[in-house]
Structure 1
């Protein structure tokens, strides 16, 4: 079974600066329910994926991802996905030998920067980068599927 275990954190924008170029992502949701979401994602027109994620149990959830033709993904994003789409630039950072992804959101989620680390177990330890802020792994408002329903730009208090 494909299991995703990740922790998610806010990023201190005063301390973090990208060291490399990022990749622009456009993603949208074909289906959202309490127990699963079905997402389409296109990476700067170079690759595309259909992803199915199950309900979170702690920091873990089932995640299945399949490559799809970029043209199909663009069609789904433009004509089938719920609005608004998620638009973000993803950067990769290595800290303490571990890969972090840092997402800088645009569009209706402009102003939000999140960092994620994938783990092999929920109790796995890792080095915290200096630019890491408050953990939001347990706050569903920060799930991309929720950000597409209630964008960060409309929150009264983050």
Structure 2
């Protein structure tokens, strides 16, 4: 069977200049492509069974680690609001609303310990560093900042 293919002029010139066997090269490339597709089809025929088996191996920790940045930001935002409303002192809330990791002069955020302990239903003795580049903490600081914006004038 005869087939026609089109290639850019510059490629055709390079192939001719090197006297490459066009037909053999194209046949090999097409055969490789067909084999890849055939292998993919073979894999995909029982993919539903593979997915079902793999779902059984995913634990809650794995699911947690795959949360999207948007989900983590949203969770942090809700937690920041809850912490601000129910746990934070005025000084902690103000510090969190304008959080700057370079500033070391803010109050210790002691109320984060009972907040995180209640959230996890276990005593928390270590709060991970607040890194604003992490979606959870970005959302947390934003949520706390929203509460501060509402109450700040009423505290003066």
TM-score range, shorter chain: under 0.3
TM-score, normalised by the number of residues in structure 1 = 0.19
Tell me which protein shows more strand as a share of its residues.
1
With normalisation by structure 2, the TM-score equals: 0.19
Which structure has the greater CA radius of gyration? 2
